[in-house]
Structure 1
Amino acid sequence: MKETAPRTIFQRVLDILKKSSHAVELACRDPSQVEHLASSLQLITECFRCLRNACIECAANQNSIRNLDTIGVAVDLILLFRELRVEQESLLTAFRCGLQFLGNIASRNEDSQSIVWAHAFPELFLSCLNHSDKKIVAYSSMILFTSLSPERMKDLEENLNIAIDVIAAHQKQPDSEWPFLIITDHFLKSPELIEAMYAKLSNQERVTLLDLVIAKIVGEEPLTKDEVTVFLRHAELVASTFVDQCRAVLKLTAGQHTNDEEVLATIRLLDVLCEMSANTELLGYLQVYPGLLERTIDVLRLIHAAERDTPNIFTTTGCIKEGDISNMAEGFKSHLIRLIGNLCYKNKDNQDKVNELDGIPLILDGCGLDGSNPFLTQWVVYAIRNLTEDNSQNQDLIAKMEEQGLADVSLLKKMGFEVEKRGEKLILKSPGDKPPP
């Protein structure tokens, strides 16, 4: 525990800080004065370092410094730094130390967090989260993370640009800890914020956010009961957006590469739905989501028809390159079939619905299957297994397709299915029971 310092010391430091800040104010009004700031910036930096270090794990010092209204002075000074808009190192050092002080005084101290929030929100975050200096972005993210609470999330809903800046910061600096923690520990707990923000994000930022949703679902720690409740709301947003926008991917069949980012965002929505529907606690909701199964089959059919008409980006090549848009498209077909399989898992209504929509021949009818795409084959096997489990009508359909030459026998065998004739009846034998991926 750090030793408590007398309040008079902090008062002297604050007096020096106030006096030195006048030179910064002058430079803001008269840019020619910036070159004369060196000594003032050095003093400001040392004051902030003193205050920053005094606050480390010492509530008494935090309280003494806060009660002198040092937080308000520090925030005002930081906003002046941003107004100067110069990148000289001495200014950046003072800027960074000021932010570190605010982060430290707010750490584990609710009274300080409240005062920091009152002074810093929203101007400081709007000024710093999009700064060109990575450390300034990181330190201002630390302040935001430390000060946020469920009640203050409402403020973010009314200032969406701050939330969007956090997503952009994570996109630019994926290894930076604080933006990541803000999103995973605060944003993803607020379906209202996510919904409001998603509509205003760029497609690139949407992909970034959806990647973090996937990371949370497939993480080592299973979702808690409270998280499942929240993620059911996220599932509603993702499913409704996919149902509305999934046809955007069809632009690729016509070679329209003008907005690959929109397509990638739609593809990532499907990736999220695949992972959500692989979670048993979210699956039931998605299995009955209006239009989701129908639209998924519809898009698969349109892609398959376009693929037959003319070679395009969805045509199976067997050649996959990392980060290639065609690789993304390849995965899209696989994941459409995976999602259909998930939605039919132990669900007789959906199994029958796929049959009614002629989805079974569609899944079996090549879909680009040429032996060179093992991922697609894997999901076809999985979908057919889930479509036929305890469903004699679907089993009979596939068995008759095979007898009539409408299903590829070698493909069925490769997938582990066999058709056996018993008297006048055709029996489809499927691979051994496996849990859903």
Structure 2
Amino acid sequence: MADENTSLGSLRSCAEVLNEYATKGELIVEVIGCRRLQENIEILTELLKSQENRTILPESVFQDASCLLEAVLQHLESSPPDGWSQGVLGTSTECFRFLRNSCVSCQANQLRVLNADLVPTTTAIVTLLAKQPELSNGSLEAADLVVQVSSSQMLALRCAVQLLGNLSSGNPSSQDVVWQAAYPDVFLSALGCPDPTAAGYCCMVLHVCLNDTTMQQLVLDTKGRLLVQTVLDLCERQPDLDWGLLLVTEKFLMSKFFLPNVYSTLPLETRIILLDIISAKIGESESSSPGEEEDQVLPVFVLEFLAAEFQENFQTILSVGENTENLEAVIIMKLLKVLCLGTGQQEKYMELIRMESLLASGVELLRLTTAAGKLGDNIFSQTQKMVPPDSPDDVHPVHGLKRDLIRLLGNMCFQNTSNQDKVRELEGIPLILDHCSIDDHNPYISQWAIFTIRNLCEGNHDNQAVIAGLENKGLADNIALNDFGIEVTEDDGKLVVKSADK
């Protein structure tokens, strides 16, 4: 009981000091930046780490904090950034900190923050603090830009954005107020600030505030799509920024509205970033334990959309030539990688496996690139020359294309009679057998070809008969075939396919 009385007494004492300064006739810079005021707010911040103290916090402190932050806002608006008082910035930081702590798991205090009309003031201060310095000598790198902004400015910005996050957490009413006040311009300002930590906190606020309604608003609005692009670019620049990746994978991609409305509006470079994030996410689900699977798996509609994009645009890769910077070709390769990863997880993406049109597109692109490769020495041609490390071929956008196409077909034919038959009908079996040799443009293509032939033949006598009826051009590596449970032998000049003895 003594500890509770002590805490209550301390809270009241701090509240009295806060009120003393908040109710002064004129909140000039010297008053707002007073060290005594800051020290008392610091004590208040520390006390509010306790849930018990949060529940007994005097209501008056929220209105007093609102008065102080209004004065802070007036100072920031009336002075250029290089004229901002460090004392004022320090006081604003401590105000945001104690308000942030007061909202943790306490809807009563969240409501008090709303009633004190602190959200408009906070978002206005965020916009000012997030401004990048005026540069008269051209652009600077991000690291140089941070140096141009004072550490006290960035700290105040971080705490202000954290307040918006804690205010919104678990409270739909607060989320709506924050969204209305911050979308889209305040969010864009915070995401574009030179401090990656503050930008990450902004991603956290977005993560909390996004729901079906706000997501539709986001994807249908021009500035909303710009916000998405800014988040994706941030993920590329700051790959360790967890909240950015969580926002993309747990909010953006989980919405059926996202890809159909946003994907085609993104610059090619940003699409590549998004596809890399999707590939990484599917790779996580591939290695996840059973208890984690539900949280790790992307919805099948994501892969169905990307499969449709691949089918619609795959022929553009034929015009790539020797252009190693062809972004359209890079995107086709990224799409193909995603589809290879997805079709490798049948228990999660069976709807993708059943897409006969995707299977047909894979066979068709393999046919077209094989034919193109036979027209002369080009990036689609088979080659068995020793390629030195870092050669242009290794960095060419379509490096590994035919290997990945064969991998896609193999995945889709695994224990799937309908797809096995479809590949045969499309005359894809001889095409795949034609890639059982080493090709430096497609590392490990022979292994994937053998894997795919195994999947085509498993339990399918018609496909086995097709192989047995082919003209004998020599046997492939039987050791590799045996690893996949297949043995090919010659009998009276004909090829015989059978299960290998274990």
- TM-score, L = length of structure 1: 0.85
Give the CA RMSD over aligned residues. Answer: 3.1
Q: Distance in 2 between matches of 1:221 and 1:233?
A: 23
Correspondence for 1:272 among 318, 322, 338: 338
What whole-Å deviation, never above 9, does each CA across 1:185-212 have from its counterpart, x for those lacking one?
Answer: 1112112212211112223322322233
Correspondence for 1:81 among 116, 129, 141: 129
The aligned runs of 1:98-247 (5 Å cut-off) are 98-158=160-220, 159-218=224-283, 219=285, 220-221=288-289, 231-247=299-315
Correspondence for 1:20 among 63, 72, 82: 72
Cα–Cα, structure 1 residues 172 and 372, in superposed 2: closer, same or farther, change >3 Å?
closer
Aligned to 2:472: 405
What whole-Å deviation, never above 9, does each CA across 1:276-300 have from its counterpart, x for those lacking one?
Answer: 2122245543344253222211211
Cα–Cα, structure 1 residues 320 and 153, in superposed 2: closer, same or farther, change >3 Å?
farther
Q: Does 1:375 align with 2:375?
A: no
Residue type matched to 1:43 in 2?
A: T
What whole-Å deviation, never above 9, does each CA across 1:154-196 have from its counterpart, x for those lacking one?
Answer: 2222222222222221121111111111112111211221221
SS in 2 for 1:199: helix
Q: Does 1:337 align with 2:389?
A: no
Aligned to 1:347: 416
Q: Distance in 1 between matches of 2:233 and 2:155?
A: 23
Cα–Cα, structure 1 residues 175 and 319, in superposed 2: closer, same or farther, change >3 Å?
farther
For structure 1, which segment, 271-280 or 319-328, has the greater mean C-alpha deviation from structure 2 after superposition?
Answer: 319-328
Q: Does 1:71 align with 2:123?
A: no
Cα–Cα, structure 1 residues 98 and 20, in superposed 2: closer, same or farther, change >3 Å?
same
Correspondence for 1:384 among 445, 453, 458: 453
Q: Distance in 2 between matches of 1:348 and 1:427?
A: 21
Shift of 1:376: 1.5
Q: Distance in 1 between matches of 2:374 and 2:437?
A: 9
Residue type matched to 1:125 in 2?
A: F
Cα–Cα, structure 1 residues 326 and 301, in superposed 2: closer, same or farther, change >3 Å?
farther
Q: Distance in 2 between matches of 1:67 and 1:247?
A: 59
Residue type matched to 2:193 in 1?
A: H
Q: Distance in 1 between matches of 2:393 and 2:489?
A: 42
Cα–Cα, structure 1 residues 323 and 79, in superposed 2: closer, same or farther, change >3 Å?
farther
Residue type matched to 1:292 in 2?
A: L
Aligned to 1:366: 435
What whole-Å deviation, never above 9, does each CA across 1:256-280 have from its counterpart, x for those lacking one?
Answer: 2342x32222111111111221222
Q: Distance in 2 between matches of 1:354 and 1:426?
A: 20
Shift of 1:225: 7.6
Residue type matched to 1:241 in 2?
A: E
Cα–Cα, structure 1 residues 279 and 323, in superposed 2: closer, same or farther, change >3 Å?
farther
What whole-Å deviation, never above 9, does each CA across 1:361-416 have from its counterpart, x for those lacking one?
Answer: 21111365269977212211111012112222221221232xx323x314356423
Residue type matched to 2:149 in 1?
A: Q
Q: Distance in 2 between matches of 1:423 and 1:269?
A: 45
> How many residue pairs align between the two structures?
423
Q: Distance in 2 between matches of 1:205 and 1:372?
A: 27
Where structure 1 has 5 or more consecutive residues not aligned to the other structure, the ranges are none
Q: Distance in 2 between matches of 1:295 and 1:390?
A: 24
- TM-score, L = length of structure 2: 0.75
User: Are the aligned partners of 1:42 and 1:94 in contact in 2 as well (CA < 8 Å)?
Assistant: yes
Q: Distance in 2 between matches of 1:161 and 1:60?
A: 35
SS in 1 for 2:265: coil
Task: Determine which structure has more spread, i.e. the larger CA radius of gyration.
Answer: 2
For structure 1, which segment, 40-49 or 111-120, has the greater mean C-alpha deviation from structure 2 after superposition?
Answer: 40-49
User: Are the aligned partners of 1:385 and 1:431 in contact in 2 as well (CA < 8 Å)?
Assistant: no
SS in 2 for 1:415: helix
For structure 1, which segment, 168-177 or 76-85, has the greater mean C-alpha deviation from structure 2 after superposition?
Answer: 76-85
Where structure 2 has 5 or more consecutive residues not aligned to the other structure, the ranges are 1-49, 135-147
Residue type matched to 1:184 in 2?
A: T
For structure 1, which segment, 9-18 or 304-313, has the greater mean C-alpha deviation from structure 2 after superposition?
Answer: 304-313
Cα–Cα, structure 1 residues 428 and 227, in superposed 2: closer, same or farther, change >3 Å?
same
Q: Distance in 2 between matches of 1:323 and 1:43?
A: 58
